[in-house]
Amino acid sequence: MNNDQADPADLAALRKAFAVDDGGTSALGWAAVHAFEAEHHVVLPEPYRTFVAEVTDGSYQGPPEYGMAGLLACAGHQRLAEPFPLTRTWVWEADDGPYEDPEAVIERVAHDGSLRLGTDGCGMDWHLIVTGPHRGHIWQITGEGALPFAAEFGHTTAEPGFAGWVRHWADGKEWFDAPPA
């Protein structure tokens, strides 16, 4: 996973997965992406950055189940320049974790360092981490907890990052398809 340089093969796979053939008219363009980054004091991870600039800014088709939100909608009330606080799965419904103030950390998980890409419904939201140690990774955040999405974290056979997440969906795989440990 390279957060700083878009791989042409990843971009081709993203174009194919979203069946975008509008010549880039649904994309934001580089000027809008640069303005967004300056306003929020972040540099978006690749290949998501190039995807919204050159391919499309959101889609009614998945992933996730209810489509991908556009960049401006993703930002909402997020504090993108603040680092995402987690580096491992945390089911806060079952465990306060190693945190002095778990409620404050849960609030940070919902708002710091991530773009909400969309939802699978029932409070199961997918986020792209834009700052912090997990920059470039996709996380699922629910009312019960949060977990990183990639084979290296268990639960799935997916490659890491935005392109791996989209490929997994485009291949018709279940999100959590790894055999039990």
Query: How many angstroms from the chain centroid is the CA of residue 165?
Result: 8
d(CA 66, CA 35): 27
- Total length of the chain: 181
Average pLDDT over residues 159-163: 96
pTM of the full structure: 0.93
Q: Which domains does the chain have, with CATH numbers?
A: 8-170 (3.40.1580)
Tens of pLDDT, residues 83-105 = 999 999 999 888 877 788 888 99
Of 60 and 176, the structure prediction assigns the larger pLDDT to: 176
Given a contact cutoff of 8 angstroms between Cβ atoms, the answer to whether 67 and 121 are in contact is no
